[in-house]
Amino acid sequence: VKKMEEEIRLEWRERAEKQAKAEFIVAKIAETEKIEPTIEDLEKEAKHILSHHKDADPMRVRLFVYQSLRNQKTLEFLETQ
């Protein structure tokens, strides 16, 4: 790509900062609006992932699923506004 390592780091840093800000904003909206996934959806999705990834840490999977479902529900909420 003929780019110096520092150029690549700068590009990735900018992208990472934008993504982190977006994630923070979505999380804050979810908190303010009290948006939470249902226990049933959380368990169903976690069980599905764990059935395909037997060595995965169940707590990390549940955390990942929780965040993903909450983000999804928050974006759906924002689309209706």
**78 CB-near residues (< 8 Å, 6+ apart):** 29
Mean pLDDT, all residues of the chain: 94
Spatial contact of 75 and 33, defined as CB atoms under 8 Å apart: no
Predicted confidence at residue 6, as pLDDT, reads: 85
Indicate the pLDDT class of residue 7, thresholds 50, 70 and 90: confident
Nearest-CA neighbor of 42 among 21, 17, 61, 56?
Answer: 61
Burial 17-31 (b: 16+ CB within 10 A, else e): eeeeeeeeebeebbe
Enter the pTM of the model: 0.79
Q: What percent of the chain has pLDDT over 90?
A: 85
Indicate the pLDDT class of residue 30, thresholds 50, 70 and 90: very high
